[in-house]
Amino acid sequence: MTEDKPLHAVGENVPDLAVGLFGPRAIVKVMVDEGKTVAARHPRQAVRFLAAGHADLSEAADRYVRLADRIDVAVFPGPMHYDLARAAGYLSVPSSYVRLSGAALYSTLLRGRVHGELDLTRISIDSLSHAAVEEAYEEIDVPSAGVRCSPYADPESALRFAEFHRPLLRSGESTMALTTILSVEQELRSEGFPVMRIQPTRATIREALETAVLLGHGSKLGEQQIAMIAVQVLTEGSLANGSSYWQQEAALSVHRLLLAEARTAGATVARRGDASFVLTTTFGGLDSLTAHLQHAPFINAIQQRLGLPVAVGIGVGNTARDAEGNALVGLEGSLEQRGEVAVYVDGGDAAIVLTAPDRAADEPESSDRERERAVAVLERILSAHPAAGEQPPVVGVEEVSSALGVTDRTGRRLLKQLVEAGLAWPLPPVAPPGGGRPRLQFRLLPDSRPATSTSLFG
């Protein structure tokens, strides 16, 4: 493969957009092939892809520097190469990477079964999170109790992947190592261990290149291009069945959270209905909220802190009307998928689906333990104060202290932990009839407990 060779150009001799492809030569070659498909999908846009593959990581910085002044956006084959480039400080344009999806794991497992006797229940997997692996195994109805995982956190964690697999393979606890890192594959194979490499599917690579094209065009249009994000609370469960006051409190809590999130990107928030909001920002602000169009904004934050599902549509345009129209189109797409994703629309040929960040990868293990403790506290309170009908119970500090057998001070601290875990939220203080200090009240959110939690009420 010839380095730096233009793959495709449409229209003028100088392209509207140049996308640099960086990483090991083998994967860059696949990115090159899929780049031709992506370019063909945008006949009205002059887009070309410039390849700069390397044989060794020591060459990565040099390959990038050679193209730095000729590209508008960069794409890396995975989070490790992206993080290494960012840490080295030589990134000079908006950049993204190919996200490893469940499809890559399915493809690898299928290859293992077709070309060998891969035991799906006794393997070790690096890079992917426990949650992603468990979800993939649930979808194919295969138990995952014997599968061992070592998620990617940063480049330092990738250096320990070989050491993660080696003892499991030696003991027989794992019959095959699945890795995303070429050097780990080569090292384990040289030692005689069975190993397969997890690689992104071509469809995932195309999605990453499509996102890069959007990112590049947004950057070239400038930070001041208008972007709007439509957020709709999905009125299901306790929110739909509750009282008007309960619904208003839910909407108010979402509004407060959106205001806090919006401040980080210089956005404004406007309420458009009982449970719908529109945020207005620039493309630069949108870039910040979505981690360079890699992740859906707000979905995880609202779900985790408030226990409410939301749909999110993102629109970009040269006018406020265009941006809002595109955001509403994106919102409809998100609603069709029950708010599990956000949908980005800019009036082009295709919409981009953005998934929420992997919670297991974003939250430290200590957060999981803290949430488990909070769930246990909630269960004990519910056993003493069960819900009346379908309405979630409301408790005060005194009830909690009595139910748990602790002081009011400790009860107040435990309620705060429930709020932080998204298992309760504070209601407006109630003034006693005879005067005195207002009484703090909290609405418990039993529906926000993890699905694996054992409920005391069936």
What is the helix (H) or strand (E) element at residue 271, kind and residue range?
Answer: strand 268-271
Amino acid identity at 151: P
Alpha-carbon distance of 14 to 6, in angstroms, equals 11
Task: Classify residue 447 by its DSSP letter.
Answer: G
- At residue 44, the pLDDT reads 63
- At residue 121, the pLDDT reads 92
Q: What is the CATH number of domain 102-197?
A: 3.40.50.10660
- The closest of 153, 163, 72, 95 to 124, measured between CA atoms, is 163
**Ranges of the chain with pLDDT below 50:** 1-15, 237-243, 360-366, 452-458
Do the domains spanning 17-97 and 222-359 agree at the CATH topology level? no
Q: What is the CATH number of domain 17-97?
A: 3.40.50.2300
Q: Which long-range contacts does 423-428 make (Cβ < 8 Å, 24+ apart)?
A: 423/307, 423/374, 423/375, 423/378, 423/448, 423/449, 424/378, 425/249, 425/253, 425/306, 427/249, 427/394
Task: Classify residue 438 by its DSSP letter.
Answer: P
Contact between 311 and 335 under an 8 Å Cβ cutoff? The reply is yes
Taking 3-state DSSP, the helix, strand and coil percentages for the chain, each rounded to the nearest 5, stand at: 45, 20, 35
Task: Classify residue 267 by its DSSP letter.
Answer: -
- At residue 28, the pLDDT reads 94
- At residue 189, the pLDDT reads 95
Amino acid identity at 303: Q
Alpha-carbon distance of 440 to 436, in angstroms, equals 12
To 10 degrees, the CA torsion angle through 458, 394, 245, 258? -90
222-359 fold = Alpha-Beta Plaits (3.30.70)
Alpha-carbon distance of 449 to 354, in angstroms, equals 25
Contact between 299 and 339 under an 8 Å Cβ cutoff? The reply is yes
- At residue 455, the pLDDT reads 33
Q: Which CATH number fits domain 364-448: 3.40.50.11540, 3.60.21.10, 3.30.70.1230, 1.10.10.10?
A: 1.10.10.10
Q: Where are the domains of the chain?
A: 17-97, 102-197, 222-359, 364-448
To 10 degrees, the CA torsion angle through 112, 357, 86, 224? 130
Contact between 253 and 246 under an 8 Å Cβ cutoff? The reply is no
